[in-house]
Amino acid sequence: MSIVLQPLKCLACGAPLKSKERDLMLICEHCGSLSLFADGKTSPVEFAIVKPTVEEKDPLWYVPFWVVNADVIVHREKISGGGISRAVTGQKQMRGTRDFYICAADAVPEEYARVWNMELTINQPEFTTIPEFKNGSRMVMTMEKDTAGNNAEFIFLRYEAEIPGTLQELDYDFIVKSAKVLYLPAYKKPTSYMLGVLNGK
């Protein structure tokens, strides 16, 4: 058995790319472009860097998220017990075309990632972006795009399951349309992480 190791090249300028620390986002040391590493090769990826709106003294990290844009179509939903609909309780519906935020760095403990994913997905924030990783470091991205798509669907199901009463039946379609990478600023506190954006402003 033999394998051919193709040298990885920057899609923007052609310079050789070095992979380190299993980061799925490869930065070109020559021109600074970022490429996605998947299936043994590099491919173009849409990405943006979000400007911090909160200032802290702790180290600033830019945490990669997959922003999965998906169509959520619920054909039928049957709830027994509580049965109070979201329209009555004022809770937001997770329906239609929307973005799902999936933290893509396993350096962030699950307990924080899970809360951020749900809050960002419910609030659908709008961010101000900046051209570079200012005053902070880029965190290694460890999650592949397909995994992010599956996790997005899981967020939807978890949200549906939180409706008061017992969810007996859910007939739905979850169609992933696109996915891009968003680096969100976060401060690493001695024992926790804190997002560097409040309410998306």
The residues that touch Zn ion, with contacts defined as CB under 5 A, are 10, 12-13, 15, 28, 30-31, 33
Fill in the DSSP letter of residue 91: P
DSSP-derived pairing of the beta strands 34-38 and 41-43:
antiparallel
Amino acid, res. 161:
A
* C-alpha 65 chain-centroid distance: 3
Backbone conformation region of residue 86, classed left if phi is above 0, alpha if psi is from -120 to 50, else beta? alpha
Closest contact distance (angstroms) between CB of 15 and Zn ion is 5
- Which of 34, 70 has the CB closer to Zn ion? 34
Closest contact distance (angstroms) between CB of 132 and Zn ion is 15
- Which of 132, 146 has the CB closer to Zn ion? 132
- Which of 16, 165 has the CB closer to Zn ion? 16
Closest contact distance (angstroms) between CB of 32 and Zn ion is 7
DSSP-derived pairing of the beta strands 96-103 and 193-195:
unpaired
Closest contact distance (angstroms) between CB of 46 and Zn ion is 17
Angle between helix axes 145-161 and 110-123 (nearest 10 degrees) is 70
**8 Å CB contact between 91 and 164:** no
- Which of 35, 121 has the CB closer to Zn ion? 35
